[in-house]
Amino acid sequence: MNNKNLDALFTGLTGTQISPASELPPNQEPNVTVKNLDTERELSEEVSEERFCTIVQSDILRKIRIIAKREGLQIKEVVNAAFGKAIKSYERKNGPVDGRMKGDAKNLF
């Protein structure tokens, strides 16, 4: 692996962007940009998110991807909106979600 590949790898891992010294005029120092991790941490605490894995029908996932692309959104944003609507619909029909087990998934919505 050459140095350019290593630089690209470390740039991605550390969030810094360093201009190689060989590309700079002789009297100019490299430009280093460092992300403010404290600000990013504060923003991430505002909206709590969790990762999870699920299995869906291929046609449904294909349509979610199309919707996301058409609307200029991320897939997670489309899925969050769909989940939110499904939960509101469920709560209108069945009352607030409180963790108790009830019926069959086919009758949820």
pLDDT tens sequence across 85-98: 999 999 999 889 88
- The CA-based diameter of the chain, rounded to the nearest angstrom, is 73
Question: What is the model's pTM?
Answer: 0.50
- For the chain, the domain total comes to 2
Considering the domain architecture, whether residues 37 and 62 belong to the same structural domain is answered as no
Considering the domain architecture, whether residues 38 and 78 belong to the same structural domain is answered as no
Backbone angles phi, psi at 47, to 5 degrees: -120, 115
Residue 102 belongs to domain spanning: 58-107
Q: What is the spatial distance between Cα 87 and Cα 31, in angstroms, rounded to a whole number?
A: 48
| Contact present, 46 and 29 (Cβ < 8 Å) | no
Residue 52 inside a domain? The answer is no
| Contact present, 82 and 60 (Cβ < 8 Å) | no
* Helices (H), ranges, 15-74: 37-46, 58-71
Low-confidence residues of the chain, pLDDT below 70? Answer: 1-45, 101-104, 107-109
